[in-house]
Amino acid sequence: MKNIRHLTKAEIEALMKEWDEPKFRAQQIWEWLWQKFASSIDDMSNLSKKLRERLKEEYHIPKVKVDHSQFSSDGTIKNRLKLHDGHYIESVLIPTEKRITVCVSSQVGCSLACKFCATGFLPRERNVDFDEIVDEVVLANEQAMEHYGRGLTNIVFMGMGEPLLNYKHVLESINMITSPDGLGMSPRRITVSTAGIAKMIRKLGDDQVRFKLALSLHAADDVKRDEIMAINETNNLAELEDALNYFYTMTKNEITFEYILFSNFNDSYADADNLVKIYRRVPADLVNIIEYNPIQQADFSKPDEDRTDAFMRYLESKKVNARLRRSRGKDIDAACGQLANIDHKEKQGA
């Protein structure tokens, strides 16, 4: 059985022509797949029974399903999602007064092994297909409507996996999410976060994408970044700066730096000064300073409030547009760096 959602519109049109079906049938099927998000071919009620039966002989619609949801005291919802082949990924729905954001996963596990991230301790099993990523968004939108009475406003590719190592499917999912034939969402509401793969950042520029880009920086010198992020050994800061400048030249899209503060590692004035230097060499709009969220596999801790405040004041004194991002969903292991397909209660009982 083939996944019918992996057919392009042109391929569906060609199939209908081959089967001597009217051309408008292709548009009907497309709408069922990408606007009504049918769960099965049987749902396509305006198709003839004969056509539905013929489609079912060759095609199916493997859908992502919510396996388990956890609800944080701050309103955040973490979903463990089951894929058609039995693998699991996680997404996080984050409501605020002004927006509702979903954090989606692009890989089952991750191959980058960043030392502060729970996902990095999981093996990378496979990439998440573009239709599965779209399912993550659709499910989150339904959940947002159910629990908060309003739909999604923003999407961030900051869940499990490295999006730029699943380049084709990530871009195809964004094309479908932003297409008038799909969800019709603005690309300016989408941010793709990368640990830093210079070649692929340049490719984003060549492809003139319209979404925002975030770099998970976390250390502003190569020695420290090598220590916590193995990807830096082959994609050092000079290469990343060059790639980000190229990306901006080609797209004029917003760039954000993500910087987790680790106690007595990257939180000194010298570290802040290195961050200022990078900020000035790249046309970044914002530096998100992120609270560290503990995981069992790592010994890092977050700085105390005074040290964090001092770091922020230093950046502000240097005219850096910096924002301290308070973690959401910490009580259910839904915060940045905590996604590992483990129920919080299961973890507590381990």
Reported as half-sphere exposure (CB side, CA atoms, 13 A), residue 229 has a value of: 24
Give pLDDT tens digits for 110-148.
Answer: 999 899 988 888 889 999 999 999 999 999 999 999 999
**Measured in whole angstroms, how far is the alpha carbon of residue 298 from the centre of its chain?**
23
**What are the residue ranges of helices labelled H in 6-74?**
9-18, 24-34, 49-58
What pLDDT does 199 receive? 98
pLDDT attached to residue 299? 85
Do 21 and 78 belong together in one domain? Answer: no
Element (H, E) at 286: strand 286-290
**Residues 257 and 231 both lie in one domain:** yes
Residues 334 and 244 in one domain: yes
Q: How many CB atoms lie within 10 A of CB 304?
A: 11
pLDDT tens, the chain, 350 aa long: 999 999 999 999 999 999 999 999 999 999 999 999 999 999 999 999 999 999 999 999 999 999 999 998 889 999 999 999 999 999 999 999 999 999 999 999 999 989 998 888 888 999 999 999 999 999 999 999 999 999 999 999 999 999 999 999 999 999 999 999 899 999 999 999 999 999 999 999 999 999 999 999 999 999 999 999 999 999 999 999 999 999 999 999 999 999 999 999 999 999 999 999 999 999 999 999 998 888 777 889 999 999 999 999 999 999 999 999 876 655 655 555 555 555 444 443 33
For 158, residues 6+ apart whose C-beta sits below 8 A from its C-beta are 103, 104, 191, 193, 214, 336
My answer on whether 40 and 113 are in the same domain is no
Provide the CATH number for the domain around residue 11. Answer: 1.10.150.530
Query: Do 81 and 45 belong to one domain?
Result: no
CATH number of the CATH domain containing 235: 3.20.20.70
Whether residue 134 contacts residue 173, with contact meaning beta carbons closer than 8 Å, is answered with: yes
Burial of 52 (0-12, 13-18, 19+ CB in 10 A): middle
**Does 246 share its domain with 281?**
yes
Q: Are residues 21 and 165 in the same domain?
A: no
What's the CA gap between 289 and 219, in Å, rounded? Answer: 11
Give me the half-sphere count of Cα atoms (radius 13 Å) on the Cβ side of residue 125: 15
109 to each of 74, 106, 125, 145, 162, how far by Cα in Å?
Answer: 26, 9, 6, 29, 9
Assess whether 37 and 163 both reside in one domain.
Answer: no
Sequence-ordered alpha helix ranges (H) in 207-341: 222-228, 237-251, 269-281, 305-317
Do 81 and 151 form a contact (C-beta atoms < 8 A)? no
- One-letter amino acid for residue 16 of the chain: M
Q: For residues 135 and 12, state if they share a domain.
A: no
Say how many domains are in the chain: 2
Residue-level pLDDT at 349: 39
**Domain that residue 282 falls in:** 65-349
CA within 13 Å, CB half, 231: 24
| Residue of 315, 316, 254 whose CA lies nearest to 283 | 254
Helix (H) or strand (E) holding 131: helix 130-148
151 and 265, same domain (yes or no): yes
Active-site amino acid positions = 90, 336
For the record, the structure tokens of 160 come out as 């499990």
Please tell me the predicted confidence (pLDDT) of residue 297: 79
The reply to whether 90 and 165 lie within a common domain is: yes
Q: How many Å apart are CA 156 and CA 13, to the nearest integer?
A: 33
For residues 119 and 296, what is the distance between their CA atoms, to the nearest angstrom? 12
CA 287 to chain centre: 18
Sign of CA dihedral 306, 311, 317, 320: negative
